[in-house]
Amino acid sequence: MNAGRFAPSPSADLHIGNLRTAVLAWLFARTTGRRFLMRVDDLDDRTFTDIARRQLEDLAAIGITWDEPAQWQTQHADRYADAISQLAGRELLYECYCSRRDIAQAPRAPHAPEGAYPGTCRDLTDADRTERRAQLGRPPALRLRTDAGAESPAPPAVTHTVHDLLHGDYTGIVDDFVVRRGDGVPAYNLAVVVDDAAQDIDQVVRGDDLLPSSPRQAYLARLLGYPEPTYAHVALVLNSDGARLAKRDGAITLAEIGVERAIAQIADSLGYQASTVEDMLPQFDPAKLPREPWIYRPS
């Protein structure tokens, strides 16, 4: 049976914007007959177990339920290793020795988006790689060769289109993105695709700041033989200055706002009258969801 999910990264306590996105992901799943799953995206070394536990407690406190015990990414290293081995066996990976500064300063094609990898390490010789490894002093990252037919020095110009329930068709350029970091940790774009497939997640609901990453993830899913999920990227919550909510910008956590008030404010932001998340189910209509950010004012 297919599922939706919420997958917080435990680097900080959930704020009202995170909670609202979680409620929407839950509503999408429950109103379409899907299971709802919880995953802790804890591969990053800036994540913390105690924060993860508080996040799960907060989600349960506002009434969100999930159908299986929460999974933790750090418990599934074999999943990612198998996917990387599959890609490597098809000669779809190459070593990258570039720093962020190298990438930022490298020339790129006019059509390439800001931050796209320019293909610097794409076609190095064995001798080049040996020299770069010695200079780097640590293992290289691994990048996906998104167009095996592209020739250096031009970077690949692959595009991929996803369909989003709220934004329609969205096409993005898929560059040679990292699938394993230099420290050996699977990159987010690989881990999230592998995890969703392993958990039969076919509905991905998250903040619309992540819409630009969807073509990369859907492209990788197709390479690995996974079905592409249905996407719904919901509007973010911003503070009164129009900035994304963060602790330094006035983000409010559940401990600060309280359960009843948090639910009431989330419901009001969606145009609902509700005192529980269950009350929102009969009112939920994706076509009527706000497309503009919710400007959150604590008072």
Give the pLDDT mean for 151-180: 85
Task: Note the pLDDT of residue 299.
Answer: 65
Give the pLDDT mean for 275-293: 96
Which of 231, 263, 294 lies closest to 60, judged by CA?
Answer: 263
Handedness of CA 234, 239, 241, 244 (dihedral sign): negative
Share of the chain above pLDDT 90, in %: 75
Instruction: Tell me the pLDDT tens digit for each residue of 1-43.
Output: 799 999 999 999 999 999 999 999 999 999 999 999 999 999 9
Give, for 52, the enclosing helix (H) or strand (E).
helix 49-61
Asked if residues 29 and 4 have their Cβ atoms less than 8 Å apart, the reply is yes
Cα 148 to Cα 87: distance, rounded to the nearest angstrom:
12
Instruction: Tell me the pLDDT tens digit for each residue of 201-229.
Output: 999 999 999 999 999 999 999 999 999 99
Task: Note the pLDDT of residue 218.
Answer: 97
User: Which of 76-85, 87-96, 131-140, 167-176 has the lowest average pLDDT?
Assistant: 131-140
Cα 214–chain centre separation = 8
Give the pLDDT mean for 268-296: 96
Query: Residues near 262 by Cβ (< 8 Å), separated by ≥ 6?
Result: 16, 19, 62, 254
207 has which bridge partners? 234
Which of 13, 24, 71, 97 lies closest to 199, judged by CA?
Answer: 71
Instruction: Tell me the pLDDT tens digit for each residue of 74-122.
Output: 999 999 999 999 999 999 999 999 888 877 777 665 566 667 888 889 9
Task: Note the pLDDT of residue 112.
Answer: 63
Cα 116 to Cα 174: distance, rounded to the nearest angstrom:
8
For the segment(s) 3-75+235-295, the CATH number from 3.20.20.150, 3.40.50.2000, 3.30.70.1230, 3.40.50.620 is 3.40.50.620
Task: Note the pLDDT of residue 1.
Answer: 78
Asked if residues 176 and 156 have their Cβ atoms less than 8 Å apart, the reply is yes
Task: Note the pLDDT of residue 249.
Answer: 59
Through-space distance between the first and last CA atoms of the chain, rounded to whole angstroms: 42
pLDDT of residue 196 exceeding 90, the answer is yes
Instruction: Say whether 280 sits in a helix, a strand or coil.
Output: helix
Query: Tokens 């903040």 label which residue?
Result: 207
Task: Note the pLDDT of residue 47.
Answer: 84
Task: Note the pLDDT of residue 153.
Answer: 46
Cα 136 to Cα 261: distance, rounded to the nearest angstrom:
52
Q: At residue 120, what are phi and psi to the nearest 5 degrees?
A: -55, -45
The pLDDT mean for the chain works out to 91
pLDDT of residue 149 exceeding 60, the answer is no
pLDDT of residue 156 exceeding 60, the answer is no
The residues spanned by each domain of the chain are 3-75+235-295, 79-180
Name the class of domain 79-180: alpha beta
pLDDT confidence of 240, banded at 50, 70, 90? confident
Query: Residues near 172 by Cβ (< 8 Å), separated by ≥ 6?
Result: 113, 159, 160, 212, 214, 215, 216
pLDDT of residue 148 exceeding 60, the answer is no
Look up the pTM and report it.
0.92
Helix-strand-coil percent breakdown of the chain, rounded to 5? 40, 20, 40
pLDDT of residue 134 exceeding 90, the answer is no
Whole-angstrom CA distances from 107 to 113, 116, 135 are 12, 11, 22
